[in-house]
Amino acid sequence: MKGFKDSNNKFHPITQSKGVRKSRDQSAKITGIKIERKARVPEKSIEKMFELKSEPVSAEIRAREFDRFTSSITDFGSGDIASAVDKGEEVGLDGGEVADLAREFADDTGTSLSDVDVVAVLYEHILQNARNEIDSVLGFDIMNDIEGGTEFYVAGNFLATSYDYSQEASDQLKDVLKKAPMDKLKRLSENVFVKSFLSDVDVF
């Protein structure tokens, strides 16, 4: 038996003990515990886990969410915007040009853009262009040459915006058009502003 004697000549035996094998996981200090290494997840598998799968957005949902977005982010109602854009398309103006008209009106009048009736602004733009063309071709000013009644003007009321005028104004414009030569009528018929205006008033 192996051992050693101390200073008092007392023998002390040495017993052998099993050492603990060091693990890479320093927290595991107990003999007999087996540490399992987990297999690494392939990158492709991780990529598939986070792959975003979605169906194409339908036109109905896009239109609905567009309305929600515009009504939340702008002071203009989505219905007003849609009405103005549709009317602008009728006379060859895109959405950006319609917006420019609203901004110009706000700047010219010192009005807050949020208070601008964008539909009425567009109607006024159409009216003035139609007025200038009719006056240029026929020599008749639909806002100054009306006798005995109210001339044509824009009654702004957002979605309910329309042209307002008297029966005398309608009759006099109708009479002027009936007496006009065909070549001048043809020229007027080629102007989108004139066509839009006349389609909205009770002349024919």
Rounded to whole angstroms, the Cα distance separating 101 from 123 reads 11
For 123, the enclosing helix (H) or strand (E) is helix 118-138
CB 132 within 8 A of CB 141: no
Residue that is written with structure tokens 């139609």 in the block: 130
CB 105 within 8 A of CB 84: no
Q: How many CB atoms lie within 10 A of CB 185?
A: 14
- The residues spanned by each domain of the chain are 76-204
CB 124 within 8 A of CB 174: no
List per-residue pLDDT tens for the chain, 204 residues long: 666 666 777 776 766 655 555 555 555 454 555 656 667 777 777 877 787 666 787 889 888 887 787 777 677 777 888 899 999 999 999 999 999 999 999 999 999 988 999 999 999 999 999 999 999 999 999 999 999 889 999 999 999 999 999 999 999 999 999 999 999 999 999 999 999 999 999 887
Structure tokens at 135: 């006056």
Position 28 scores a pLDDT of 47
Give this prediction's pTM. 0.69
Position 188 scores a pLDDT of 96
